[in-house]
Amino acid sequence: MYLQSLAIFACVNMIAVAGLVLLTGYTGIFSIGHAGFMAVGAYAAVISFKYLAVPFLPAIIAGGFVAVLISVIIGYPALRSMMAGDAFAIVMLGFVSVVRISITNIKPVFNASFGISDIPRLSTMSVVLAFTILSVWFMRNFLKSHYGKNCIAIQQQETAAEMVGINVLKTKLIALMISAFYAGVAGGLFSFFATYLAPTNFSEAKSDDLLAAVVLGGINTLSGPLLAAAILVVLPEFLRFLAIWRLVFYGAAFVVIMQFKPEGLMGYREISFKWVGRLYGKVRGKARD
């Protein structure tokens, strides 16, 4: 059970990180408030399940779509005014606080800071695994398509991207919407596993977790951050005795990465399984000899 819950947390983290890879790793927009979208998705899913009697799976998807809606409300004005890099990151930092504080103060339905309890545990291993595989597969396809290439173009040279005819605002907005959807779904799945939903579940620290995975994993790569996301869930479990040092470790890791390998550990590369094939070929060749 312990291992299973660890695996589910890792999967949920991977879904959210897959979304953030598109926004930060490919389009180059830093978001230090992605947990805000997780919170929105989680509350939307749980409330529509508990109060509107929506079945589990549609509720999760609905959570994703509500996160998309919020992302447009936040993102359209912020991205339209050409708020580049840092400014947008700060908008997101404000957003995650606004979400948390608003929910903490809404008594009806949201139950303020007490949170919503008695959520049935419907996020089983198989459900979460299916969601993870599907969302990673969708993201991989998207990143490899021309949409993904346009995102990279914007990240590398925004002026030129605009000059060759890429609608920068639209492309950025699509990236933001998709990544918000992923975060919303991840939030929903998480709360249907934790069975308890409180505003503090998705604090700024959670956003740091997600961003850490992308920064450590690398830019212009999907497999790197996914691996990092899983490791960042599993590793702290083994290093429980160092728990209070976790954020210090993140800070140190950020500094080291930015100093020595600014493109991240796996930047511009995907994890390849070709070596498995080669190894297999070698072993078979030896067996024949």
Partner 1 sequence: MTKQTPLLDVSRMNIVFGGLRAIENVSVQVSEDEFIGLIGPNGAGKTTFFNAITGYVKPSCGEILFDGKSLARKPPSKIANCGISRTFQNIRLFPKMTVLENVSTPMHSTPKYSVWAAMLGLPVVKRVQAETDRRAMEFLEILGLGEHKNRQAGTLPYGLQRRLEIARALAASPKLLLLDEPAAGMNNDECSELIELLREIHKMFSLTVMMIEHHIDIVLKLCSRIYVLNLGQLLAEGTPKQIQTDPKVIKAYLGERRRKA
Residue numbers at the binding site for partner 1 (CB under 8 A): 137-139, 141-142, 144-150, 152-153, 156-157, 159-168, 174, 178, 220, 268
- Least Cβ distance, residue 147 to partner 1 (angstroms): 5
Given a contact cutoff of 8 angstroms between Cβ atoms, the answer to whether 118 and 59 are in contact is no
Residue closer to partner 1 (CB basis): 82 or 258 = 82
Closer of 116 and 178 to partner 1 (Cβ): 178
Is 126 or 159 the residue whose CB approaches partner 1 more closely? 159
Give whichever of 107 and 170 is closer to partner 1, judged by the CB atom: 170
Comparison of 95 and 142: residue with beta carbon closer to partner 1: 142
CB of 174 to partner 1, least distance (A): 6
CB of 279 to partner 1, least distance (A): 26
Question: Residue 14 Cβ, how far from partner 1 at the closest point, in Å?
Answer: 17
**Least separation in angstroms between CB 222 and partner 1:** 13
